[in-house]
């Protein structure tokens, strides 16, 4: 008979492995797509890199409704859409 502790340990090991793999995939998508999306939506490449490096402080001078703020929002929305679709796909595959 298998001990409960062994089964629990295996469960948590696989759980953590899956979480680490998810972090690797989402981090690589984020790091590869976000600069591209920001550069596509902002006319200023310097601003795009500032937003990528420090989004909370770089967005302050641009109130809602300005073209810069809308471009930043759209870039984040595009990357989140990709992340959401990929995670849904992996979840569906994992259920089978």
Task: Classify residue 12: in a domain, yes or no.
Answer: no
Looking at residue 96, its pLDDT comes to: 60
73: containing domain? 25-95
Task: Classify residue 65: in a domain, yes or no.
Answer: yes
Task: Classify residue 50: in a domain, yes or no.
Answer: yes
Eight-state DSSP code of residue 3: -
Report mean pLDDT in 10-residue bins for the chain, 96 residues.
85 90 90 95 94 94 95 96 85 70
Question: Helix, strand, or coil here: 23?
Answer: helix
Looking at residue 1, its pLDDT comes to: 62
| Calpha distance 54→47 (Å, rounded) | 10
The model's pTM is: 0.77
Domains contained in the chain, number: 1
Task: Classify residue 9: in a domain, yes or no.
Answer: no
Looking at residue 29, its pLDDT comes to: 92
Looking at residue 68, its pLDDT comes to: 95
Closest CA to 28 of 82, 93, 88, 92: 82
């Amino acid at each position: 008979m298998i001990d409960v502790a062994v089964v629990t340990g295996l469960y948590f090991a696989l759980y953590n492995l899956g979480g680490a793999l998810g972090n690797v995939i989402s981090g690589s998508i984020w790091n590869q797509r976000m600069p591209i999306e920001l550069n596509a939506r902002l006319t200023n490449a310097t601003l795009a890199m500032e937003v990528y490096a420090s989004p909370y402080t770089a967005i302050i001078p641009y109130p809602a409704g300005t073209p810069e703020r809308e471009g930043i929002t759209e870039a984040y929305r595009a990357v989140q859409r990709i992340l959401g679709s990929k995670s849904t796909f992996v979840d569906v595959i994992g259920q089978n």
